[in-house]
Structure 1
Amino acid sequence: MKYRDLGDTGIKVSEIAFGAEFLVERPYEDTEDLIKACEANGINFVDCWMSEPDVRSHLGKAIKGHRENWIIQGHIGSTWQNNQYVRTREMDKVIPAFEDFMERFQIDTLDFGMIHYVDQLDDYNEIMNGPFIEYVRKLKEDGTIEHIGLSTHNPDIGLLAAQNPEIELLMFSINPAYDMFGSMGDIEEYRKEDAYDGQMFGLNPQRAELYETCANNGTALTVMKGFAGGNLLDSETSPFGVALTPVQCIHYCLEQKGVSSIFVGVKTVDELEESLKYCDATESEKEYVETLKNAPKHSFEGQCTYCGHCAPCASEIDISMVNKLFDLAKNRDEVPASVMEHYNNLKYNATDCIACGDCEPRCPFNVHIVDVMLDAQDLFGF
C-alpha cells in the first residue's frame, strides 16, 4: 500500500480507503472481517456517512482497541429519523445525530467532521452563514473534531469549498463518466437513462479546475463513487459501452490532480481484494487510456484530459493549462473575464507555440495540440 499527503493537514493516508456504505443491514461479523482485512493490507482511512445505528456501532466496536490505526471521516447532518436516513440542517436533529456518531464509534475525537452532502448553492450559503457552521466551528474549537471537511457531487460547490480556508478536505465524486459533466445540483441526474445521450467528451474543464484548485490550495481531495455505483464495471451499464476494471477506475481517480485517496465501497472481503489488486498491478493493468480512447460511446479520442503527458514544451508553454482555458472559453459568446485574466497571466501562452509538434506523439488521447494552439490564438486575440 502506498500513502499520500492529505492536503496540508500533515496526515498521510492510504491511496485506497474503506467506504463503509454497504454495511447497512449486515451482521457485525462482516464489519469485523473487513476492518481486519483493511488493516492487514495497510488501509488506514475510513468514511462513515451512514446514520443507521448498527453500522456506526459495528464500526466502533471493530475499531476499538486500535483506534490509532485509523483516520476517520464522520458526517455532520446525516441523521436517523423514523428508522430511515435523513439529510438535514435542523440543529435539533443534527446535534443529537452527531453525538450519536461519537458515542457509537466510542471515540472522543474525530479526525474529519464532514459537512454532509452539499449539492445546492442555497444550501451551502445557509450552512456557511448560520448555526450549522457555528456548531462545526465549536466542535473544532473544543477538539471534538480535528479538521473540517465537506462532501459534494457538484463542482460549483466544490470550488467554493476549495477556496474556503476553513474547509480542509473535500470529498467529491470522481470517475470517467461523471467527469464528463459540468455542474449538476442533483446526484440523481448522473443516473438517468438519458443522461449520457448528448455529445460529451473527456474531462469537463470545470472539474479540472476544481481538482487543480484543490492541489494549489492544499485542500485535501478524497474520492467517492469511483466506480459510478458499479456501472463502469459492466459494459451493459457503462456509458462508454465498454467495461473498466476496478484497478483502472482506481488508477483514473488517483491520477487526477490533488487526489489523495479513493474510498471503495465494498461489502465483502472478496470485493475489497478486487480493489487491492491495484497495489500490485502492472502499468498495463492500470492503463485505462486505450479503453476510453477506443470506447464505442463517448470516446476520449482527441479530447484533452489535462494530464500533462504532453510536456515538456520546447517553448515552455503549460500546454494542459492553455487547453483547459481554451475549453472553458470556446463555447461562450465571449471569453469570461476570469479565464482571460488567467490566460494573460501565463508566462508563455499559445502565441509562443512554434508548431514543432514534439508534444503530439506524447499525448495519450491523440489531441492535435498545434491546432488547439492556433485556435487559442484566435480566441484569446493574441
Structure 2
Amino acid sequence: MDKIRLGKTDLIVNKNGFGALPIQRADKEDSEKIIKKAYENGINFYDTARFYTDSEEKLGNALKDVRENVFIASKTGMETVEEFWKDLETTLKELQTDYLDLYQFHNISFCPKPDDGSGLYEAMMEAKEEGKINHIGITSHKYTIASEAIESGCYETLQYPFSYLTGEKELELVKRCEELDIGFIAMKAMGGGLIKNSKAAYSFMMNFDNVLPIWGIQKESELDEFLSYQENTPEMTDELKQAIELDKKELGNDFCRGCGYCMPCPEEIEINTCVRMSLWIRRFPTEPCLTEEYQKKMEKTQECTECMQCIDKCPYELNIPELLKENYKDYMNVLTGKTKIV
C-alpha cells in the first residue's frame, strides 16, 4: 500500500484518496457501506465539501467511530466572513467532529490572502487558532488562481484538476508544489468521468510522489477497482501508454470536465451534461443517453440565447454555446441513425 506525505501538513496518507462528491447520488445505506469498506482497506483521506449536498452527513455517519484514524478534508465556497463561519459550523455538525484535518477555499473567484480586504484568510487563521481546523488549503479550476495561491505562501495544499489528459501547465504546478513542499491533491483524476481506463489513470498517478489523487466513488465496484491496484500496482506498459495517447487524441484539451461552475443557466439548460453528450455517446455507448429524458435535455439546448454567462463562469474558458450546437447536431445524427456508434 503506497503512502505519501501531503506536503508541509506532514499528513501521511494512503495514495488512494476518497473523493466524496459522487456519494451524494447514492442512498445512505450504500454510501456508508462503501465508505466503511474504504476505511477497512486502508484508505484514510476523505475529501468532501459543504456544496456536495448530503456528502458530509454520509461521511460523518460512516466514520464517526473511527474519527481519530482518518483525515477529513472539506471546503467552503463562501466569500464573506459571516457565511464562512456558518459553513464551517454546519460542516463540523454534519461530519460529527470537532475539527477538520484540512479546510479549503472552494473554487472561489479570487485567492484569499492576508489584508486583502475580504477578511476570509483571517477567518481561516482564526478557525485554525481555535482548533477547528488543522491545515489550510485551496481548490481551483483556474491556473492563474492556483499559481497565485501556491506562490503566496499562505496555503499548505492545492487541489487542482490533474489526470493524464492534462498538459504542461498542470505538470508545472505539480513540480512547483513539490519544490515549495505544498501538498498537491488531484481532482478530476478520471477526467471528470470521461476516462474509462482506471488502470491507466492509476498508473499515471504513481509517477508523482507528491500527488494525492482523490477518486470519485459512487459504486462499490468503482471502489473495488482502486483497492485492487493497492495490492497489484499496475505498471505503465506500452499497452497503457497507447490507451492514454488514444484518449488524448480523442478528447484533446477542449472538452468539458463536468465541474458545473457554468451553472445555473438562465434558460435552464443542463450545460455540464449536454455540452459533452457527443463524448458520452461514443465513450459509454451502453449508458442510457438516447432515452426520452436525455432527448428532452438536448432539445433544451436549442433555447440557448448565447448570453455568454456560461463562458464568463467556465474555468476552462470553453466556447460553451458553440459546443452545445456541435453536441446537439452530433446527438441528433446518432438518434436518427445518420451516425452509427460502436
- TM more than 0.5: yes
2:96 to 91, 96, 106: 106
Contact in 2 for aligned 1:31/1:58 (Cα 8 Å): yes
Amino acid at match of 1:278: Y
Give 1:112 shift.
0.4
State the match for 1:8 in structure 2. 8
Mark the CA change 1:69 to 1:125 in structure 2 (over 3 Å): closer, same or farther: closer
Amino acid at match of 2:54: D
Cα deviation per residue 1:87-143 (whole Å; 9 max; x = unaligned)? x3133333212210001111111100111113x4xx225887121111111111111
Are 2:67 and 1:115 aligned? no
Matched pairs, number = 250
- Corresponding residue SS for 1:263: strand
Mark the CA change 1:26 to 1:291 in structure 2 (over 3 Å): closer, same or farther: closer
Contact in 2 for aligned 1:147/1:168 (Cα 8 Å): yes
Mark the CA change 1:103 to 1:176 in structure 2 (over 3 Å): closer, same or farther: same
Mark the CA change 1:69 to 1:293 in structure 2 (over 3 Å): closer, same or farther: same
Give 1:295 shift.
6.1
1:156 to 133, 139, 144: 144
Give 1:277 shift.
2.6
Contact in 2 for aligned 1:211/1:257 (Cα 8 Å): no
Contact in 2 for aligned 1:172/1:221 (Cα 8 Å): yes
- Corresponding residue SS for 2:128: helix
Structure 2 stretches of 5 or more lacking a match?
Answer: 253-342
CA distance in 1 between counterparts of 2:84 and 2:222 reads: 33
1:137 to 125, 130, 147: 125
Write the mapping of 1:46-125 to structure 2, written as runs, cut at 5 A. Answer: 46-52=46-52, 54-77=54-77, 88-118=78-108, 120=109, 123-124=110-111
CA distance in 1 between counterparts of 2:150 and 2:57 reads: 32
Structure 1 stretches of 5 or more lacking a match?
Answer: 78-87, 180-202, 234-244, 301-382
CA distance in 1 between counterparts of 2:129 and 2:113 reads: 21
TM-score, normalised via structure 2 length:
0.67
- Corresponding residue SS for 1:102: helix
Mark the CA change 1:53 to 1:19 in structure 2 (over 3 Å): closer, same or farther: same
Cα deviation per residue 1:174-215 (whole Å; 9 max; x = unaligned)? 0122x1xxxxxxxxxxxxxxxxxxxxxxx32x3222111100
Contact in 2 for aligned 1:51/1:97 (Cα 8 Å): no
Structure (1/2) with the larger helix percentage: 2
Contact in 2 for aligned 1:251/1:287 (Cα 8 Å): no
CA RMSD of superposed structures (Å): 2.5
* Structure whose alpha-carbon radius of gyration is higher: 1
- Corresponding residue SS for 1:163: helix
Contact in 2 for aligned 1:172/1:222 (Cα 8 Å): yes
CA distance in 1 between counterparts of 2:209 and 2:145 reads: 18
Amino acid at match of 2:151: Q
CA distance in 2 between counterparts of 1:28 and 1:92 reads: 30
State the match for 1:217 in structure 2. 180
CA distance in 1 between counterparts of 2:93 and 2:140 reads: 26
Amino acid at match of 2:144: D
Cα deviation per residue 1:222-277 (whole Å; 9 max; x = unaligned)? 111011122121xxxxxxxxxxx112112223324631x11111112111112223
- Corresponding residue SS for 1:229: helix
CA distance in 1 between counterparts of 2:226 and 2:42 reads: 13
Mark the CA change 1:295 to 1:265 in structure 2 (over 3 Å): closer, same or farther: closer
Amino acid at match of 1:4: I
Give 1:284 shift.
5.2
Mark the CA change 1:176 to 1:128 in structure 2 (over 3 Å): closer, same or farther: farther
Contact in 1 for aligned 2:25/2:218 (Cα 8 Å): no
State the match for 2:23 in structure 1. 23
Contact in 2 for aligned 1:248/1:286 (Cα 8 Å): no
- Corresponding residue SS for 1:110: coil
Mark the CA change 1:43 to 1:128 in structure 2 (over 3 Å): closer, same or farther: farther
Mark the CA change 1:142 to 1:291 in structure 2 (over 3 Å): closer, same or farther: same
